[in-house]
Amino acid sequence: QQQVKQSPQSLIVQKGGISIINCAYENTAFDYFPWYQQFPGKGPALLIAIRPDVSEKKEGRFTISFNKSAKQFSLHIMDSQPGDSATYFCAATTIYGNKLVFGAGTILRVKS
């Protein structure tokens, strides 16, 4: 049973478009929700993260939207670029927890 459900599995977006990836969780004890970006042959790297006390966090072209009541959060990539083509993982944990739980991943391809 996957504790964090991620969709879609893959996504193709035109350059300059908006990429949207969605995640949902069940465990209400989670209080830290990071997104990781992974390029081929590399390990995942932290992209952006949010705590549930805010509904939105923005860093450059990347925005996390968080809906605590629905237990959902999403990543928006504005003005998507070919260099954003990668696999994106949402994750969840408690801020001082020992275990990071990942979604299944989304393969993003940005067409130039």
Give the residues lining the site for another protein (CB under 8 A): 2, 4, 6, 9, 32, 34, 41-46, 49, 89, 93-105
Please say which residue, 63 or 93, places its beta carbon nearer to another protein: 93
b/e burial code for range 16-52 (CB count within 10 A of at least 16 → b): eeebbbbbbbeeeebebbbbbbbeeeeebeebbbbee
Q: Which residue has the tokens 């478009």?
A: 17
Q: How far apart are CA 103 and CA 26, in angstroms?
A: 12
Give the nearest distance from C-beta 69 to another protein in angstroms. Answer: 22
Please say which residue, 60 or 99, places its beta carbon nearer to another protein: 99
Give the nearest distance from C-beta 39 to another protein in angstroms. Answer: 10
Give the nearest distance from C-beta 36 to another protein in angstroms. Answer: 8
Q: Give the contacts of 24 (CB within 8 A, at least 6 positions apart).
A: 4, 5, 70, 71, 72
Give the nearest distance from C-beta 6 to another protein in angstroms. Answer: 7
Please say which residue, 41 or 112, places its beta carbon nearer to another protein: 41
